[in-house]
């Protein structure tokens, strides 16, 4: 059992590295492709990348004699379309924002959804622990240092990322609602498909992609679409079967840290002292918010929201 826990932790760590470095892939892709074009192709690749996973999981369920409930298909498509619509808004706001800021900052600002989701829960009748309000205060201070300059100005890119974080939060709540009723992997695939179709429509209306530009951005697209959506999500599914929620949450929150590290290594992006302090505060807020959101008896591996489904960050 101990070996399984170690293996699960390693898989989640690899997933966090992939998700964090996907911000770099998005930044590299933005050098050649407009936002809607990149997200259209990346999302469609993500949907295709999950098809083998769906096929294998369906085969295993058939062997066990598990058959979906009659309401499964309707809920699956309704949930997938709603999640895909909100994801379309969130992920394209993120891509527009990344064009005007660094990958590291984008990672931490997007990670605000971890703090925002429990706040949305208050309007749904959920009770908030004291730790949540502490996380909100720390996140506010961190976001101020990270995005607001000493002249009290904030860049348009950071504003778009902040708005995107709120939409990612809505999308996560939608997934949380439907994931207990349908297959989570299929829900994820449908939302990517819907997001890809909507992004494609926007691409043809407002952008003019070329084959040459797509070729130049091919590897960032593959990384963001196949590795982030397919491989990392599959690793998470396997890992959560043997990893306690507290450990899994902490490992997945490292995504924002890896966004900064890979941005520094690959793109030579640096952080000012002010931004570094803001990033540290944001990371503390993320951890505090996750701990406050976990039930007291969280000893079994079943986190309420698979990160890969939301793709909230680099999704």
Q: What distance in Å separates the CA atoms of residue 309 and residue 186, rounded to the nearest whole number?
A: 10
Bridge partners, residue 154, by sequence: 148
Higher-confidence residue: 235 or 221?
221
**Quick one: tokens of 283?**
């990371």
Contact (Cβ atoms closer than 8 angstroms) between residue 315 and residue 91? yes
Mean pLDDT across the chain, nearest whole number?
85
Which strand (E) or helix (H) includes residue 29?
helix 2-30
Is residue 83's pLDDT more than 80? yes
First to last CA, the chain: 31
What pLDDT score was predicted for residue 302?
42
pLDDT in tens, 101-129: 989 899 989 888 888 888 887 777 777 67
pLDDT band at 67 (very low <50, low <70, confident <90, very high): confident
Three-state DSSP class for residue 217: coil
* 240 neighbors 8 (Cβ within 8 angstroms): yes
Q: What pLDDT, in 10s, does the model give residues 6-44?
A: 788 888 889 889 999 999 999 999 999 999 999 999 999
The separation between CA 279 and the C-alpha centre of its own chain, rounded to angstroms, equals 18
Q: Is the pLDDT of residue 232 over 50?
A: yes
160 burial class (0-12, 13-18, 19+ CB within 10 angstroms)? buried
The pair of three-digit structure tokens given for residue 97, joined into one six-digit string: 């924002």
pLDDT at 40: 97
CA distances from 153 to 187, 267, 270, 278 (A): 40, 25, 20, 16
For residues 170 and 306, the model is more confident at 170
pLDDT tier for residue 315 given thresholds of 50, 70 and 90? low
Phi–psi pair at 154, nearest 5 degrees: -135, 140
3-state SS record for 245-302: HHHHHHHHHCHHHHHHHHHHHHCCCCCCHHHHHHHHHHHHHHHHHHHHHCCCCCCCCC
**Which pLDDT tens digit goes with each residue over 131-172?**
888 888 998 999 988 888 766 688 999 999 999 999 998 988
pLDDT band at residue 290 using 50, 70 and 90 as cut-offs: confident
State how far the alpha carbon of 1 is from the alpha carbons of 5, 10, 247, in Å. Answer: 6, 14, 15
Please count the CA atoms within 13 angstroms of the CA of 48 that sit on its side-chain side: 13
Instruction: Tell me what percent of the residues of the chain surpass a pLDDT of 70.
Output: 87
Q: Looking at residue 2, what is its pLDDT?
A: 63
Q: Which residue has the higher pLDDT, 179 or 310?
A: 179
Q: Is the pLDDT of residue 245 over 50?
A: yes
Residue 245 or 183, more confident: 183
Alpha-carbon distance of 170 to 183, in angstroms, equals: 19
Confidence of residue 300 (pLDDT cuts 50, 70, 90): very low
């Amino acid at each position: 059992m101990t070996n399984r826990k170690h293996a699960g932790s390693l898989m989640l760590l690899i997933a966090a590295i992939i998700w964090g470095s996907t911000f770099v892939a998005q930044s590299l892709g933005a050098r050649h492709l407009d936002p809607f074009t990149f997200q259209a192709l990346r999302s469609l690749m993500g949907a295709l990348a999950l098809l083998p996973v769906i096929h294998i999981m369906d085969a295993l369920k058939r062997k066990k004699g598990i058959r979906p409930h009659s309401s499964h298909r309707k809920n699956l498509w309704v949930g997938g379309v709603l999640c895909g619509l909100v994801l379309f808004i969130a992920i394209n706001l993120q891509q527009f924002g990344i064009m005007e800021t660094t990958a590291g900052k984008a990672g931490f600002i997007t990670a605000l959804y971890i703090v925002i989701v429990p706040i949305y829960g208050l309007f749904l009748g959920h009770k908030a622990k004291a730790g949540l309000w502490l996380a909100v205060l720390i996140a506010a201070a961190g976001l101020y240092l990270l995005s607001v300059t000493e002249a009290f100005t904030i860049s348009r890119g950071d504003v778009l990322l902040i708005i995107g974080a709120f939409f990612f939060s809505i999308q996560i709540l939608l997934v949380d609602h439907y994931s207990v009723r349908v297959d989570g992997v299929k829900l994820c695939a449908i939302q990517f498909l819907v997001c890809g179709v909507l992004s494609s429509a926007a691409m043809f209306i407002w952008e003019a992609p070329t084959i040459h530009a797509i070729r130049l951005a091919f590897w960032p697209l593959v990384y963001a679409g196949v590795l982030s959506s397919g491989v990392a999500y599959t690793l998470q599914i396997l890992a959560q079967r043997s990893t306690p929620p507290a450990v899994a949450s902490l490992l997945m929150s490292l995504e924002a840290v890896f966004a900064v590290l890979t941005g520094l290594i690959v793109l030579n992006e640096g952080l000012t002292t002010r931004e570094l302090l803001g990033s540290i505060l944001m990371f503390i807020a993320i951890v505090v918010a996750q701990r406050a959101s976990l039930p007291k008896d969280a000893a079994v591996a079943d986190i309420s929201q698979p990160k890969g489904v939301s793709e909230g960050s680099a999704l």
